Amino acid sequence: MIICVAVNEETAETKLWDQYVAAHPLATGYHLLVWGRLIEKVFGHQTIYLMALDDNHQVRGVLPLVLLSSWLFGRFMVSLPYVNYGGVLADDLETTNALLSEAISKAERLGVEHIELRHCKNFHLDWPKKEHKVSMRLDLPDTYDLLLKGFAPKLRSQIRRGEKEGMTAHVGQLQLLSDFYTVFSLNMRDLGTPVYGKQFFSKILQTLSDDVRIISVRLRERPVAAGLVYGFRQMLEIPWASSDRRYARLAPNMLLYATVLKYACERKYKYFDFGRSSKNSGTYRFKEQWGAQPVQLNWHYWLPEGASLPQLNPQNQKYQRAIRLWQQLPIPVTKILGPRIVKFLP
């Protein structure tokens, strides 16, 4: 018999949770309890972390969920918001169904409009799903020199261009946070997207200091491109990266990604995850030129009867006017207003 329990900092099962995640072949770093605690502290959201146990009190599966609720965007649960991955981890179909059933019960009691599970694997759930995104991944050789030799001559030339223009690349942690946030907040404004607060990234760097780095590219001490990378097991991922469009002709983003890949090879990661993209989009083609291959993402949804799939994304026409207005705001204003809005967007 499978029973499901809620896990938090006060329960005895916290160590069991992370032990299970560490051993599960489909786990990502975002399944670890630390991400739920981080989201609670930074954004104030309620987390609902469900663990499935058998009769011998052995862990058979886990499902991390975060409740987002606002008058503007609605009330829903996500596994996990703000990042690319999450969803259910389980030993078998019986456990998967038990966790999903418990999640639905929680959703109905809380009056949520939908549950969104961000899976990489297709679990063939009896839930509607979206396949609008892929993860772009690159297999890494033993050394960066081997990787560089495999690049097309044009790509190698673009990487060298940044160095010839006097750009420098730096790898660090909190000391580079201002570089990262300067470029990131500018890029988010230009995209018409509310920006996360600087505290979010500071908390990530402090909490996951062994696994997170910032890579910054500077031109005469001015940050012109930057990214935050997160490593788990054999995979290094870059969930957030930006470049200053005013310097696009100098290709700072090429030097940024080359530095990230060099770091990944030096740290002996086997794979690099460029992050999610829409199929055949500009970002898809940018990542493809590095040799990255698409891995289908499967986002599953539970919906109340008669409800339609949510469309909380920039492509939704009803947000287009707001996006255009946001693009006109001064950067300091977006840094104040952005975090108050984006915390409710998954």
The tens place of each residue's pLDDT in the chain, 346 residues long, gives 888 988 987 777 888 999 999 999 999 999 999 999 999 999 999 999 999 999 988 999 999 999 999 988 899 999 999 999 999 999 999 999 999 999 999 999 999 999 999 999 888 888 999 998 999 999 999 999 999 999 999 999 999 998 899 999 999 999 999 999 999 999 999 999 999 999 999 999 999 999 999 999 999 999 999 999 999 999 999 999 999 999 999 999 999 999 999 999 999 999 999 999 998 899 999 999 999 999 999 999 999 887 778 776 666 677 788 889 999 999 999 999 999 999 999 8
* Structure tokens given for 248: 């696009």
Identify the CA nearest to 332 among candidates 225, 189, 180: 189
DSSP states along 168-211: EEEEESGGGHHHHHHHHHHHHHHHT-PPPPHHHHHHHHHHTTTT
> Could you give the maximum distance between any two Cα atoms of the chain, in Å?
65
Question: What is the C-alpha to C-alpha distance for residues 123 and 102, in angstroms, rounded to an integer?
Answer: 17
Please report the domains of the chain, with CATH numbers, ordered by start residue: 3-131+298-310 (3.40.630.30), 135-295 (3.40.630.30)
Give the SS3 label for residue 237: strand
Neighbours of 218 (CB within 10 A): 18
Question: What is the C-alpha to C-alpha distance for residues 195 and 343, in angstroms, rounded to an integer?
Answer: 9
Give the SS3 label for residue 295: strand
65 backbone dihedrals φ, ψ, rounded to 5°: -135, 145
DSSP states along 85-147: ----EESSHHHHHHHHHHHHHHHHHHT-S-EEEEESS----SS-EE--EEEEEEE--SSHHHH
* Structure tokens given for 176: 């580079």
| Cβ atoms of 294 and 134 closer than 8 Å | yes
| Residue 14, CA atoms < 13 Å, CB-side half-sphere | 10
| Cβ atoms of 344 and 70 closer than 8 Å | yes
pLDDT at 316: 64
pLDDT at 209: 94
Q: Is 147 left (phi over 0), alpha (psi -120 to 50) or beta?
A: alpha
pLDDT at 314: 66
pLDDT at 312: 67
* Structure tokens given for 61: 């599966």
Q: Taking the CA atoms of the chain, what radius of gyration do you get in angstroms?
A: 21
| Lookup result for tokens 């200053």 | 244
* Structure tokens given for 125: 């759930």
Q: At what angle do helices 153-164 and 252-266 cross, to 10 degrees?
A: 100
Neighbours of 115 (CB within 10 A): 21
Q: Is 328 left (phi over 0), alpha (psi -120 to 50) or beta?
A: alpha
pLDDT at 11: 72
Question: What is the C-alpha to C-alpha distance for residues 63 and 50, in angstroms, rounded to an integer?
Answer: 5
